[in-house]
Amino acid sequence: MKLTSIFNLLPSKIVYAHCDIPCGIYDPHQAQVAAHTIIRMTQMIGELNYDDNIESKRAFASQMARLTHVKEEHGHLVEDELGTLQNDYFKEEHFAKFTNLKELLEKATKLSVKTRQNIDMESAKELLETVMQIAEIFYKSKGLSPFRTKSPYPTEGEIVLHK
Amino acid sequence: MAPTFSEMDSVLVSSIPLLFDKPKKGEVVVFEKYNRLYIKRIKKIKDGKYFLAGDNKKDSLDSRRFGSVKRSQIKGKVLFKL
């Protein structure tokens, strides 16, 4: 019996090397929106209050859990979106041309982890700033002209768009 | 996964090595995402998240979005091509 015949007896499944569609769609927009969401959740957590009765304390605990959950989720989203750009989109020539790109990506991940672990507005704002700098590099790498504009979100921070 | 693996190749995958050791950077693994099994190489491990990429990197526009996967989504290590 040949060795391959033995392997044929093993259970087999089909595995794929790619997503269903080779979309080529990359965009730093979602990471920026997620960074704004982290700032907003941090703001809302800071505004939470409770009175000295059990109902109020329960409502406080419930709302705190919800806000923290969303903050955590969007921290992961920033990390995933930037991870996709870093691993799937940015190539050696991008890192050579934009010499601070690697440092910015590492910094953003560290800041995102920090904002998930703490209630830290300073880090949340620094995270948005770092993500915006990455967005500017991304658009430049596409031959587009990025610009900063006031976001329409309650955070009142900026967002990077392109011409 | 070209040039390492091509379409219709058969590979032997085992979950046994993962019982003894965590998946490492550079290893080719099979993982589950979007209710399908995929084969990719581990490019980076950060904060318990595994970032995976194919070997065919000549055209970034032809890469696919995967983001990160958790340890629990990695089902086995690719041992060799049959």
**Residue B7's pLDDT band (cuts 50, 70, 90):** confident
**Residue A3's pLDDT band (cuts 50, 70, 90):** low
- Rounded Cα gap, residues B38 and A37, in angstroms: 31
Amino acid at A146: P
Q: E strand or H helix at A147, and its extent?
A: strand A146-150
Chain A residues with CB inside 8 Å of B51's CB?
83, 86-87
Residue A10: per-residue pLDDT: 81
Chain B residues with CB inside 8 Å of A23's CB?
64-65
What is the mean pLDDT of the segment spanning A42-71? 96
Tell if the CB–CB gap between B38 and A17 is shorter than 8 Å.
Answer: yes
Which domains are seen in chain A, by residue range? 30-47+64-162 (1.20.120.400)
- DSSP E strand stretches across B6-82: 11-14, 28-33, 36-46, 49-53, 68-70, 74-81
Cβ–Cβ under 8 Å, residues A4 and B80: no
Residue B63: per-residue pLDDT: 43
- Rounded Cα gap, residues A92 and B4, in angstroms: 20
| A87-113 residue pLDDT tens | 778 888 999 999 999 999 999 999 999
Chain A 14-33, CB below 8 Å of chain B: which residues? 14-20, 22-26
Cβ–Cβ under 8 Å, residues B49 and A81: no
Chain A residues with CB inside 8 Å of B40's CB?
17
Nearest residue on chain A to B69, alpha-carbon basis: A80
The answer to whether residue A124 scores a pLDDT higher than 80 is yes
Residue B65: per-residue pLDDT: 56
Predicted ipTM of the assembly: 0.78
State the best of A88, A113, A115 to mutate against chain B, taking most chain B CBs within 10 Å: A88
What is the mean pLDDT of the segment spanning A16-26? 67
Measure in Å the smallest separation between the Cα of A59 and chain B Cα atoms: 32
Beta strands B36-46 and B28-33 are: antiparallel
Residue B38: per-residue pLDDT: 86
Q: What is the mean pLDDT of chain A?
A: 91
Amino acid at A134: I
Between B65 and A162, the more confident residue is: A162
**Residue A1's pLDDT band (cuts 50, 70, 90):** low
| B13-63 residue pLDDT tens | 899 998 998 999 999 999 987 677 888 888 888 878 888 877 765 544 334
Tell if the CB–CB gap between A17 and B61 is shorter than 8 Å.
Answer: no
Between B78 and A21, the more confident residue is: B78
Residue B62: per-residue pLDDT: 39
| A63-81 residue pLDDT tens | 999 999 999 999 999 998 8
- Rounded Cα gap, residues B57 and B54, in angstroms: 7
Residue A12: per-residue pLDDT: 86
Cβ–Cβ under 8 Å, residues B68 and A79: yes
Amino acid at B12: L
